[in-house]
Amino acid sequence: MSNNEHHIHITPLKTYLVIYFTLLLMTLITLISVQFDFGSFNIVIAMIIASFKATLVLLFFMHLLYDNKINLAFLVASVVFLAVFIVITAVDTNYRNTLYDIRAKVVEEQAPAENFRNKKSY
Amino acid sequence: MREYLEKNYLNEETTIKSWLFTVDHKRIGLMYLFAIMFFFAVGGFLALMMRLELLTPAGGDILDKNTYNVFYTLHGAIMIFMFIIPSVPAAMGNIIMPIMLGTKDVAFPRLNLASWYVYVVGSSIGIFSIISGGVDTGWTFYTPYSSSTDTAVISMTFAVLVLGFSSIFTGINFIVTIHKMRAPGITWFSMPLFVWSLYATALIQILATPVIAVTMLLLIMERTFQVGIFDPAMGGDPVLFQHFFWFYSHPAVYIMILPGMGIISELISTFSKKKIFGYTYIAASTMAIALFGFLVWGHHMFTSQSEFAALIFSIITYLTALPSGVKIFNWLATLYKAKISYEAPMLYAINFLLLFAIGGLTGIFLGTLSVDIMLHDTYFVVAHFHYVMMGGTVIAFLGGLHYWWPKIWGRMYSEKWARISAILIFFGFNLTFIPQFIMGSLGMPRRYWQYDGLVNTDIFHFYHQLSTLGSWFIAVSFIIMLVYLVHSIKYGKVAGSNPWGALTLEWQTPSPAPAHNFLEEPKITHGPYDYDKVEVERTID
Amino acid sequence: MSKETTPYFQHHFVDPEQQYESSKLGMWAFLVTEVLTFAGFFCAYAIYRMWNPEMFINAHKALDVTMGATNTVVLITSSLTMALAIRYVQVNKPKVALVHLILTFLFACTFLVIKYFEYEHKFHCGHLPGALYNPHVYPDCIPIEGNNPHVFFSIYFMMTGLHGIHVIAGMVLILWLIFRTHKGHFTSAYYTPVEMVGLFWHLVDLIWIYLFPLLYLIG
Ligand code: HEM
Ligand SMILES: [Cu+2]
């Protein structure tokens, strides 16, 4: 446990550069992919590419690949709970109109700002 | 060791500065302890006033209606964000946990101190809000009322946001301490269960607290720029606010209860001098509760969300009760055929078992979708969460306080008075809240300032009287407690290092502990609950 | 980390290795809180986009893809220079590391400048959040059809605003690193702060990796 090489993996310069250019390439691919209309798949494609980029950054730039795996576990946990939050909330919102029509209303232009402007308390 | 350690963490340095800039986890914990007790007193005072107002069905006996609204909001907000959330982790846990793990300090002592200062700043902002008129939205700050009322919502929500950071700091600190700082020989499965519970709590703190910060931020934005996320008048969705709020606040109830459960595991094992039954199951159920806690927030929204989501949330809510049940049965199994010594901390543990069982079971009633449509926003809910939060967490906190008091100060309180006040609290508590269950099931709505002219007014009147009476029993027992505890700091009998004959590591160091926790490296020769193998002498008669 | 102690060793730890590992785990725990902070905004985004798909498509056309894409490249590059800075302290070349830190700082400035011009244009067109939303009919401003476009701009400004605050915080931290590297505090035996700030900076980049397609490239 006592010396540098044992624990600290020093990523070679070349790896960093390869990752960097892959990231740029992926950005380019995203930009191209939105030129085509895949309907609702556009966002799926965009998110897959973004997640691929994110994974590269995490594994190589942020060294998760070589690190103590507990750090990775924390990151994964955060993403899982982020997903839980968004997915369940979205499920509710999507099923909101089964019995009653409950929808956010459309605000006319120039929303009624005056009644807020004169609030005194903070 | 039967003596009082003359040179200890309390008196090694005595200047004010040495306290304000201390990085010693015990001192920081102690400063937290004083701060939260102050806010507990404030919150308690507000509660007593509300109970007095409800003594008669008519409104305006001692509070006018706006004041009443402000009082219940502040009571809730203060008790939750300023008292109960930091109570066990940041105060008790801070003092005890590093000693239990045999380390000199938490991983980031300065962050620990920062957490206290952030807490103080957050609370001060809260006080500012109170001075500028208070808030009348309820501690849940539901939109659209909170985005349109004229009271000081912005400062109070900002206070909650800031307090969130202090909670996060504590959480980060505890996670790292438990992962990386355990003394050699202490493995994950030979840590005291209190530490497990703090670990699970810390996980919830870092995973959930950021969301309340965002929620409060969005609410502030809603009030200042009318961004239209939560405010229906601007095209927003108030139910979305409830999702945001409860995504934090349901896990937060486990931030409140889990450390309390951890304390109970310690108490039960120590005072029955038996190995805790099913250590692994208790540890695992702690983690399971933390996990499930994230999946059930919708049970607070049965009346507002979609039926489909409500259905799912109801089912998962049932599941969360399982791990709590596992704990209760493990504790009972530990007590089975044990030679229990009924000293004050143990009285609190028994209090806890009874009260928490009631609180948890009524939670199941509420988690039943169809039943909750009836009971939602009645006194039944009020009684439920007081049974779990006061009957559960606060009682466990008091148990821990009495248990570790001799470690903190090196002296014993009066056992006789401690027992009197523990029994009195039990009595007063039930007198206060059982009537609320009954009233709630008869339809008494919560957050009402007067209840004149309802169908059941006469019945409600009777039960409200009982409830108010009970609240004064609680108040008296807290005053008794304050007196004997403060008295003991100076005049109590010397406790010695291990007044209870317990096996966890904090009892191997003298009382009060020296500045760096141990005079010599602690030796781990047995597990925390090995009462079947080892017997240690009590340092008090 | 080597066993030999540096002046930065804190004595409640057993050895520098433990100190290093602790800092790192602490940093990751902090990054968890960051992810969940942004979770709130991503959630709001998802819900409102689900409700008003057309409005989102129309409103996003008011954003400038070229500027957004440029900023993506700028941030990715700054991430590279940050990663290299860490690498160079690891191999004990603090001077080279210093150059890379300065480069990172400059890229961050570039990001903010570009962001400034974007915001500038939104103000000019009155494409502002919530009650401030007040679209003008200037020739260089596109009209936006659909329900409640002010919500899109609320979300846009809050997400990029919070991200921008993180960029600024990162810049302050990088400045601090530049100062300390210049003073010669960091060697291959001790460079924890460089690595921690690095992690933070990469997170800022990560969030932008998602913000860019979500806001600028809808449909
Ligand atoms: C056995 C597990 C539990 C279950 C199944 C449960 C279930 C519920 C349900 C369904 C509600 C919503 C009632 C309504 O508003 O109509 C509720 C409210 C509440 N519960 Fe629990 N609960 C449990 C344990 C706890 C614990 C351990 C705590 C705190 C330490 C707690 C604190 C609260 C609070 C504060 C509220 C009310 C919040 C408000 O509306 O102001 N619960 N509980
Ligand atoms: Cu709940």
Q: What is the pLDDT of residue C5?
A: 60
From CA C206, how far away is CA C203, in angstroms rounded?
Answer: 5
From CA C144, how far away is CA C158, in angstroms rounded?
Answer: 19
User: Token match 């304390």: residue?
Assistant: B263
- Tell whether B520 is covered by a domain: no
Find residue C190's DSSP bridge partners.
C187
Complex ipTM above 0.90?
yes
Neighbors of chain B with 3 or more C-beta pairs under 8 Å: A, C
3-class SS at B423?
helix
Render pLDDT for A25-49 as a digit per residue (tens, 0 to 9).
Answer: 999 999 998 888 887 888 899 999 9
Q: How many helices (H) and strands (E) does chain B have?
A: 18, 0
A24 with A55, same domain: the answer is yes
- Tell whether A44 is covered by a domain: yes
Q: How many CB atoms lie within 10 A of CB B57?
A: 17
Q: How far, in whole angstroms, is CA B262 from its chain's centroid?
A: 12
Nearest CB to A94 within list C42, C50, C83: C50
- What's chain B's average pLDDT? 94
- Tell whether A100 is covered by a domain: yes
- Tell whether A86 is covered by a domain: yes
A14 with A58, same domain: the answer is yes
A13 with A63, same domain: the answer is yes
A48 part of contact set with chain C, CB < 8 Å: no
A85 with A43, same domain: the answer is no
Going B467 to B473 to B474 to B479, the CA torsion angle's sign is positive
Residue type at position C161: G
A63 with A13, same domain: the answer is yes
**Probe ligand 1: pick from B78, B204, B253, B254, max atoms within 8 Å of CB?**
B253
Which residues crowd ion ligand 2, with CB under 5 Å? B 250
Nearest CB to C28 within list A30, A61, A74: A74
Per the structure, the complete domain to which residue B234 belongs is given by 23-508
In this complex, do B180 and C33 lie within 8 Å of one another by their Cβ atoms? no
Residue whose C-alpha is closest to residue B164's, from B214, B199, B130, B95? B214
Per the structure, the complete domain to which residue A29 belongs is given by 9-67
**Mean pLDDT of the region B226-246:** 91
Nearest CB to C50 within list A93, A107, A116: A93
In this complex, do A90 and C90 lie within 8 Å of one another by their Cβ atoms? no
Torsion, Cα of A15, A20, A21, A22 (10° steps): 80
**Mean pLDDT of the region B88-94:** 96
Find residue B445's DSSP bridge partners.
B378
- Tell whether A116 is covered by a domain: no
Q: How many domains are there within chain B? A: 1
Q: What is the pLDDT of residue A7?
A: 62
- Tell whether B523 is covered by a domain: no
A17 with A53, same domain: the answer is yes
Contact B480, B420 (CB under 8 A): yes
- Tell whether B279 is covered by a domain: yes
A21 with A33, same domain: the answer is yes
In this complex, do B210 and C41 lie within 8 Å of one another by their Cβ atoms? no
**pLDDT of residue C2 exceeding 80:** no
Walk me through the domains of chain C, giving residue ranges and CATH numbers: 16-216 (1.20.120.80)
Specify the higher pLDDT residue, A103 or C146: C146
Q: Which residues of chain A have pLDDT under 50?
A: 1-6, 110-118
DSSP state letters, B302-344: TTTS-HHHHHHHHHHHHHHHHHHHHHHHHHHHHHTT------H
Peptide bond into B144 cis (omega under 30): yes
Q: How many CB atoms lie within 10 A of CB C112?
A: 15
Q: Which residues of B touch C132 (CB under 8 A)?
A: 225
From CA B488, how far away is CA B480, in angstroms rounded?
Answer: 12
Q: What is the pLDDT of residue A88?
A: 95
Specify the higher pLDDT residue, C187 or B233: C187
Render pLDDT for B486-504 as a digit per residue (tens, 0 to 9).
Answer: 999 999 999 999 999 999 9
DSSP state letters, B374-410: HHTTBHHHHHHHHHHIIIIIIHHHHHHHHHHHHHHHS
Q: What is the pLDDT of residue A104?
A: 59
Q: What is the pLDDT of residue A34?
A: 87
Q: What is the CATH number of the domain that holds B198?
A: 1.20.210.10
A50 with A76, same domain: the answer is no
A43 with A58, same domain: the answer is yes
Q: How many domains are there within chain A? A: 2
A63 with A73, same domain: the answer is no
B250 Cβ contact partners less than 8 Å away, ≥ 6 residues apart: B293, B294, B296, B297, B299, B300
- Tell whether A1 is covered by a domain: no
- Tell whether B274 is covered by a domain: yes
In this complex, do B237 and C47 lie within 8 Å of one another by their Cβ atoms? yes
**Mean pLDDT of the region C26-34:** 97
Torsion, Cα of B369, B370, B372, B375 (10° steps): 180
Contact C37, B210 (CB under 8 A): yes
Contact B242, B291 (CB under 8 A): no
Q: What is the pLDDT of residue B359?
A: 96
**pLDDT of residue C6 exceeding 80:** no
Our CA-based measurement puts residue A19 at a distance from the nearest CA of chain B, in whole angstroms, of: 30
Confidence of residue B289 (pLDDT cuts 50, 70, 90): very high
Going B235 to B238 to B242 to B248, the CA torsion angle's sign is positive
Going C108 to C112 to C115 to C117, the CA torsion angle's sign is negative
Residue whose C-alpha is closest to residue B422's, from B500, B484, B496? B484
**Mean pLDDT of the region B328-351:** 95
Locate the ligand 1 atom nearest the alpha carbon of residue B300 and give its number: 12
Render pLDDT for B20-76 as a digit per residue (tens, 0 to 9).
Answer: 999 999 999 999 999 999 999 999 999 999 999 999 999 888 999 999 999 999 999
Our CA-based measurement puts residue B298 at a distance from the nearest CA of chain A, in whole angstroms, of: 9
Say how many Å lie between the CA of residue B300 and the centre of ligand 2.
6
